[in-house]
Amino acid sequence: MDNEDRATLLEQAASLLKEATSACAITGAGISTPSGIPDFRTAGSGLWERADPMAVASLTAFRYHPEAFFSWIHPLAAHILEAQPNAAHTALARLESAGRLKGVVTQNIDGLHGRAGSGRLFEIHGHLRQATCIACYRSFDTGPMLASFSQSGAVPRCEACGGVLKPDVVLFGEQLPQAAVRGAEALLDSSDLLLIAGSSLEVTPAALLPQRALRAGARLIIVNREPTYLDVRADVVIHQDVIDVLPALADEVLRERT
């Protein structure tokens, strides 16, 4: 894609955002990779390249072999601890603050959208801010634990009963958090524009959520390095890195014309 094509697509996307009255965004791993957090599927670097997801990240595997899960997630926890929101996260927060975006639905568990300033945020795959004991179901703030775990890699235990603490993230075979899903569905159902950023739309049921907005008649913008199954239904598709596109898009939308 040359600079002229990119400029045209950015202008088209900006026009759609400026015309919209209830735009929202869906984001995936691609918005956080520029912050140093690896995604799951990229050849050569994806997290599933070195592990069978059902063996280390399913609910059944966690209950019987939690040490395998924590061994697998240990390097990711260190990346998340070190990561900072990048310009793409900030661009979405700017659009929300200006009233151009009504909220963000994310598949990411890293918390970077919240730290960037996104206020109406639905984390449909959970987050790492809390953990729950699988024995007594007591909930804990993970703030003090994450730093310790990133250093030692030891399986975290409940201080009340000694049970294993499971981070409040969604594993394979586990239901999505219903409050987050209901909020996301309501947001999408009321949207007249959907911006999909940094998601391959390959993980269900999250990949099916955009259909709700499309059924409601929403226009669609997709910013993702690789094609998605919804490209054919999009009004604008930009196959470039979100960290380059979203800040430029926000600048164009928020620029004051004289």
Catalytic member of 65, 79, 89, 125: 125
- Indicate where the chain has its CATH 3.40.50.1220 domain(s): 1-37+85-125+175-258
- pLDDT of amino acid 115: 97
Q: Residue 194 pLDDT more than 90? A: yes
- Indicate where the chain has its CATH 3.30.1600.10 domain(s): 39-82+126-169
Q: Per the structure block, which two tokens stand in for 176?
A: 């999505």
Nearest-CA neighbor of 150 among 211, 209, 76? Answer: 76
Q: Residue 47 pLDDT more than 60? A: no
Q: Provide the edge-to-edge strand list for the sheet that holds 104-106.
A: 121-123, 104-106, 23-27, 193-197, 219-223, 236-238
Average confidence (pLDDT) over 138-165: 91
Whether residue 74 lies in the annotated active site: no
- pLDDT of amino acid 75: 84
Query: What confidence tens digit (pLDDT) does each residue in 203-237 have?
Result: 888 999 999 999 999 999 999 999 999 999 999 99
In percent, the amount of the chain with pLDDT more than 70 equals 94
- Say yes or no: domain 39-82+126-169 is CATH 3.50.50.60: no
Chain-centroid distance, C-alpha 38: 12
- pLDDT of amino acid 77: 84
pLDDT band for position 7 (50/70/90)? very high
Query: What confidence tens digit (pLDDT) does each residue in 97-132 have?
Result: 999 999 999 999 999 999 999 999 999 999 999 999
Its CATH architecture, for the domain 1-37+85-125+175-258, is 3-Layer(aba) Sandwich (3.40)
Nearest-CA neighbor of 69 among 162, 171, 173? Answer: 171
Give Cβ neighbours of residue 187 (< 8 Å, ≥ 6 apart). 24, 102, 103, 105, 120, 122
